[in-house]
Every structure is written in structure tokens, then in C-alpha cells.
Amino acid sequence: MSVAIPIITILISFFVLGLMHELGHVIMYRIFCGDRNWKIVMGFGKPIIQMKRLTVNFAFFMGGYVTDLNFIKEPRKLGLIMFYAGGILVNIVFAIALLFLSSQWAYLAIGESLPEWVGVVIRSSFITSLFLIGFNVIPIPLKNIKTDGFLIFDILLSKNMDDYYKKATEYFKDYIKNDEK
């Protein structure tokens, strides 16, 4: 099997699992804020696909974010924590599902072994899912990005949620402004 297949699979996995991660944020946003105003932006660079609720940019495998949110209206600590945790929770569910698919149980349930390329896709997706979980759980601020774990940790340490919302709003405005450059 060519070396290019696992590499291509990992890039596609980053997009698909990254999109699922962002949808996890949207699900929690809808549950805890009840608002229907949201949009997912995947990747960076020039847009190659633009729809009402989704924009896919040229470097589509380089992560994403949810924008156009109105959760700032109601400062609830739990809702915001769950919003940030939603992506991580979805990645954990996918990792468990992929672990099951790669196990002998899946082969017993299907009754035959899977083709080699399916195993490559499942293993590559599992590794990508573990990476996304690890990257997003660690509470570190990078150059222009704050991980979900950092944002959750920041909320837990905040005493005044109104001040936190002002700070978070400025961060997201700067983040989106830098992405549009």
C-alpha cells in the first residue's frame, strides 16, 4: 500500500473529525443557549465552499471555529463550559466508536474481516481523534489560538462572568479578524 494513502486519510480525517468537533460546540450551544444563530468555518485561507452555515477554506484540514454566536447575551458559566467541552465530547465518542470498529468485536459482528484500506481509514481516524482530544484538552494558549481546555480553565478561574464575557468577546473578534487576513 502506498504511503500517500495514510497521509491523505489523516488529512481527510482532520477535516471530518474537526467538523464533527465544531458540530459538538454547536450542539451544546443550541442546548444551553437555545439560539439558532451560528456558522462553522473550517480551515484557513481563501474560501473554496461557502454555504449559509458552513465555510470551507483552502487549508480545510487545519481546524475550525464556530462564529456568529449570541451566547454573550446570557452569562451562564455551565452553558459556556459545556459549549467549549462539546467538541471534545464528540471527539471522545468518535474515538470510542473507532476503537470498537478496529477491534475483533467488529469483525465478529460483521462475520468477515474488513478490507485493508478500511482498516487504514479506521486507524488513521482513531489516531486523529486522539490527537484532537489531546490538543483540545490541554489548557495552553498558543500564538493566536486558545485551546478549548484553556478556555474552560479560564472560565473556572473567573470570578466575574461579565468581565469574562467582555474578554472572550474581544478574543474572538481578534481571532476572526486575524483569520480574515
Percent of the chain with pLDDT over 90: 12
Range of the domain at 62: 4-180
- Looking at the structure of the chain, the number of domains it has is 1
Higher pLDDT, 157 or 169: 157
Residue 23 has pLDDT above 80, yes or no: yes
The mean per-residue pLDDT over the stretch 20-24 comes to: 90
pLDDT tens-digit readout, 59-116:
777 777 777 666 555 557 888 888 889 999 999 999 998 888 777 656 666 656 667 7
Compute the distance between CA of residue 143 and CA of residue 156 in angstroms, rounded to an integer.
22
Higher pLDDT, 71 or 121: 121
